[in-house]
Amino acid sequence: MAQIFKPSDDTWLRVALLLVGLAVAGAFLVAGGIVRSTYVTQVGQAPRQPVPFSHAHHVGGLGIDCAYCHTGFARSPSAGLPPTHTCMSCHSQIWTEAEVLRPVRQSLVEDRPIYWNRVADLPDFVYFNHEVHIDAGVGCVTCHGRIDEMHRTRQAEPFQMQWCLDCHRNPAPQLRPAGQITAMDWQPEARPAAMGAELIAQHGISVDTLDDCYVCHR
């Protein structure tokens, strides 16, 4: 009876299967790398804005607190963006003829808002409430990074599901006293884990349910 396959065919089959396996594994690794890349997560991206506002100057240099411009940060689902009259409360007195501030002056004269390009932008299917996080003791730095050092506002964190879940499953390290929410350089003095556990109890945070689907998807 004639032999259909040569002895070497078995070797070639094993090599082919190995190559296919390596290709599949490589594809998963590449896909995982792409998903976590800054191209996808937008970490470090600083969208162009109608006015080149510098947090490094206003927050880091002048010491303006987050709450002065983002008035809704502690009592509404969104932190909000400052209306033009907030900007003009200072710039009606200083830099009054600066070309870079022309859009701000036009906004006031024409009674129309400035349309800023959002930096921290979550998908529509994600429910996020700014007030809840502030009430729980999450500081601005946790999500927005050292905004006081940014001349151009950029995205500091990936805002992907895994990043959110990591915090929801272990929120203690991210919590701070109410008076330190907007402090950019605050660090716990001692025993941060103990302080975090105390804050969890103080705010009545139920860690066991924080990663339930309904918390972020409603």
- Mean pLDDT, residues 175-190 taken together: 92
Is residue 41 very low, low, confident or very high in pLDDT (cuts 50, 70, 90)? confident
For the segment 46-99, what is each residue's pLDDT rounded down to a tens digit?
999 999 999 999 999 999 999 999 999 999 999 999 999 999 999 999 999 999
Classify residue 176: in a domain, yes or no: yes
Distance CA(30)–CA(203), nearest Å, equals 42
Q: Establish if 42 belongs to a structural domain.
A: no
pLDDT, position 31: 67
Residue 17 has pLDDT above 90, yes or no: no
Length of the chain: 218
Assess if residue 205 is contained within a domain. Answer: yes
The answer as to whether 151 is a domain residue is: yes
State which residues form the domain around 210.
Answer: 72-79+122-216
| Reported confidence tier of residue 35, pLDDT bands at 50, 70, 90 | low
Which helix H or strand E contains 201, and what residues bound it? helix 192-203
**pLDDT band (50, 70, 90) for residue 2:** low
Give the pLDDT of residue 3: 61
The answer as to whether 140 is a domain residue is yes
- Measured CA to CA, the distance from residue 87 to residue 92 in angstroms comes to 8
Residue 108 lies inside a defined structural domain of this protein = no
Percent of the chain clearing pLDDT 90 (strictly above): 74
Q: Give the chain's domain count.
A: 1
Is residue 21 one of the residues assigned to a domain?
no
Q: What would the two tokens of residue 71 be? A: 């008035």
Assess whether pLDDT exceeds 70 at residue 1: no
In sign, the C-alpha dihedral spanning 81, 96, 53, 138 is negative
- For residue 30, pLDDT over 80 is answered with no
**Residue 42 pLDDT greater than 90, yes or no:** no
Structure confidence at residue 88 (pLDDT):
96
For the segment 139-170, what is each residue's pLDDT rounded down to a tens digit?
999 999 999 999 999 999 999 999 999 999 99
Residue 173 located in a structural domain = yes
Q: For residues 200-212, give the mean pLDDT.
A: 94
